[in-house]
Amino acid sequence: MLTKRIIPCLDIKNGRTVKGVNFVNLRDAGNPVELAEIYANNGADELVFLDITATEQGRKTLIELVISVASAINIPFTVGGGISSVKDVEILLNSGADKVSINSAAVKNPELINDLAAKFGSQCIVVAIDAKQVAGEWLVHLVGGKVPTGIKLFDWAKEVAERGAGEILFTSMDHDGTKNGFANDALAVLSNLVNIPIIASGGAGNKQHFTDVFIDGKADAALAASVFHFKEIDIIDLKKELRNNKIPIRL
């Protein structure tokens, strides 16, 4: 059985790490390079860096900051935000990213997933999907959750897997920042639907939530931000508890 992964997420705005609730009311969470180094030294399996205002502001990812973070860590590093072309991905991979995460650009141009997988390999292409329930249906949202699409989460997940994505990073906007647990029902459906890893995001509040997301949500990895940034959960302690709960995890 593949080991499960714990992934801290750095949401970046104006060069700083921030965290909000349901994608709004952002507050400062610290220097991203310093946080990245701490996580790399304290048991994180991977790190995700999302430039959350790049798409909205119509600009590219903060390359200099990506280079600084990459040079400070020795764990797999995924970068997302403002990526819309093969060239963008090439620059990020050459700047120290191991994987890239695409979201809005993939919805607007699904063929981009095929192009990136063909050029760089599926293993480094993550498709991020932000969705929330509208009238009982999980629907995809774009531009940091601000633009509803009407696209159904499960239909889109199936398509991105077929187009060559290596992983799906699913964030439940309804659960984001609430600390009430992950969207395990939706995650379990996703895990059964596609044959690529699912990274769960949105809702981590305590150690039990991580056990639940791996058992009930069938997730391959769990991503969290505020519980790590504000030192509410220590990654090593979390991993020991997961191991005690028979979750395959790397210590």
Q: Which residues are catalytic?
A: 11, 130
**Tokens read off for 219:** 């997730």
Which residues are paired to 142 by β-bridges? 147
CA atoms within 13 A on the CB side of 75: 19
What is the rounded radius of gyration, in angstroms, for the C-alpha atoms of the chain? 16
Q: Residue 96's closest CA among 121, 120, 113, 79?
A: 79
What DSSP letter does each residue of 171-230 carry, written as one string?
EETTTTTT-S---HHHHHHHHHH-SS-EEEES---SHHHHHHHHHTS--SEEEESHHHHT
- Other C-beta atoms lying within 10 Å of the C-beta of residue 116: 28
**Pair of tokens at residue 80:** 């997302």
- 150 token code pair: 């009407």
How far is the C-alpha of 164 from the C-alpha of 122, rounded, in Å?
6
Residue 22: DSSP 8-state: T
Strands 137-142 and 125-134, bridge-based pairing = antiparallel
3-state secondary structure (DSSP) of residue 215? helix
Measured CA to CA, the distance from residue 69 to residue 32 in angstroms comes to 7
Residue whose pair of structure tokens reads 């991203």 in the numeric block: 32
Q: How do beta strands 137-142 and 147-152 pair?
A: antiparallel
